Amino acid sequence: MGALEPWQIVLIFGIIFGIICANIGSNRQIGSTAGFFLGFFLGFIGLIIVLCSARKPISFESVPDQVRKYKELLDSGAITEAEYNLQKSRLLHK
């Protein structure tokens, strides 16, 4: 097996930068798919673009407030009792 061809090196670096940018982009408004393609096609420049993109907003809603929100949804008929219990147990067992 010989040395890698130039196109193989470019492909490997594209995939590496794509995966890195996808992971970073998943926590930002740009998203993981756009992050991957920016990293794949633009490499280091794509990484800079993804890092400069806006972060996703952080929810500071407390657990009791979230449970209250699901209770209101249950009372209005938007969700079932099973869905309410599932969400409530998920919130209380974090």
Q: How many residues does the chain have?
A: 94
Cβ atoms of 55 and 29 closer than 8 Å:
yes
pTM for this prediction: 0.63
Please tell me the predicted confidence (pLDDT) of residue 94: 65
**What does the pLDDT look like over 77-87, one tens digit per residue?**
999 999 999 99
**What does the pLDDT look like over 53-63, one tens digit per residue?**
999 988 788 88
Cβ atoms of 62 and 91 closer than 8 Å:
no
